[in-house]
Amino acid sequence: MDETTEQLNRAFAALADPTRRNLVARLAGADATVGELAEPYDMSLQAISKHVKVLEDAGLVTRSKEAQRRPVHLDAEVFGLMTKWIERYRQEAEERYRRLDALLGRMADDEDQKQTHTKDAS
Amino acid sequence: MDETTEQLNRAFAALADPTRRNLVARLAGADATVGELAEPYDMSLQAISKHVKVLEDAGLVTRSKEAQRRPVHLDAEVFGLMTKWIERYRQEAEERYRRLDALLGRMADDEDQKQTHTKDAS
DNA sequence: GACTTTCTCAACCAGGCGGTTGACAATGCC
DNA sequence: GGCATTGTCAACCGCCTGGTTGAGAAAGTC
């Protein structure tokens, strides 16, 4: 499997968990340590440490390696990959939808015209 | 848990699987039946049927209910939800990055100025 | 009504995931 | 060195997931 594919696998999987999305949301405001991140949750520090590792493996987050107190920092790059993927297909879908809409519009016009003709003939 | 949260859970989880992302990519081009979708994969029809169900539960896909031959159709709406979520935090992260960059820039300028003064004094 | 085609449902299995607890590694401070 | 703080590693557990096979439901065709 190609590298981008695996990166998307990990990134989407990482954001599928609400706790991890919440971590991302908080990290968007400011860097934080695992301890600070863990504080508000009713969950062990180890659990949060694991969540952070998942985000890190997905490339969504980086950490300064000043071990003991290793602040976590949000990294925008992979997010870009994800939106690029999503937007591509969303736009195709919407384009197709617009074309279908236009087609239905034309069919309705034809229908109107038929009725007009009928009316004219009557 | 609120409804949007669960929707994002399901949507991100759905797209975490490469087979499902591939289905989405193909459906962006044209609607298709489960049989047509299953054809290219080395996998049972039932497996694909399950994958489609996951996409459907995530709201990424809808199906005309003319049971037996029930074409699958890509739905753009939830994709919008996802990009909105991602882009919000990506932009915050980039904004923070720019500010940090500017700060580092100013610090470097100060450093230059100090050197200039030293030079002037010498 | 019988048969074909298309798809889903149910049961099962291996493996991964999200959480726990307990031990311990690594740095900072006295 | 000794100790506190901060974080990770390892083993374990229950559950969900992605796949399989086999059976059956639902509509179209003869």
Tens of pLDDT, residues B37-70: 999 999 999 999 999 999 999 999 999 876 567 8
Question: Which among A16, A74, A96 has CB closest to B16?
Answer: A16
Which residues lie closer than 8 Å to B95 by C-beta, 6 or more apart? none
Q: Min CA distance, A65 vs chain B (Å)?
A: 19
Whether the CB of B84 is less than 7 Å away from nucleic strand C comes out as no
Alpha-carbon span A28 to A26, nearest angstrom? 5
Q: Which of A66, A8, A63 is nearest to A37 (CA)?
A: A63
* CB–CB contact A90 B76 (8 Å): yes
Contact between residue B5 and residue A18 where contact means Cβ atoms under 8 Å apart: yes
* CB–CB contact B82 A86 (8 Å): yes
Q: Which of residues 58-117 of A touch strand C (CB under 7 A)?
A: 66-69
Per residue of chain A (122 residues), give pLDDT as tens. 888 999 999 999 999 999 999 999 999 999 999 999 999 999 999 999 999 999 999 999 999 876 567 889 999 999 999 999 999 999 998 988 888 777 767 766 555 555 555 444 44
Q: Which of B5, B7, B3, B43 is nearest to B23 (CA)?
A: B43
Chain A, nearest residue to B86 by Cα: A79
Tens of pLDDT, residues B103-113: 766 766 555 55
Report the amino acid identity of residue B96. Answer: R
Nucleotide nearest to A35 (CA to C1'): D6
Neighbour-count burial of A71, counting CB atoms closer than 10 A to its CB (0-12 exposed, 13-18 middle, 19+ buried): middle
A86-90, B35-39, B73-77, B94-98: least confident range? B94-98
| DSSP state letters, B5-70 | HHHHHHHHHHHTSHHHHHHHHHHHH--B-HHHHHTTSSS-HHHHHHHHHHHHHTTSEEE---SSS-
The conformation of residue A32, written as its DSSP 8-state character, comes to: B
Question: Which among A18, A30, A92 has CB closest to B28?
Answer: A92
Q: Which of B3, B11, B9, B88 is nearest to A27 (CA)?
A: B88
Q: Min CA distance, A118 vs chain B (Å)?
A: 32
Question: Which among B8, B18, B30 has CB closest to A1?
Answer: B18
Whether the CB of B62 is less than 7 Å away from nucleic strand C comes out as no
- Report which of residues A92 and B3 the model is more confident about: A92
Q: Min CA distance, A52 vs chain B (Å)?
A: 16
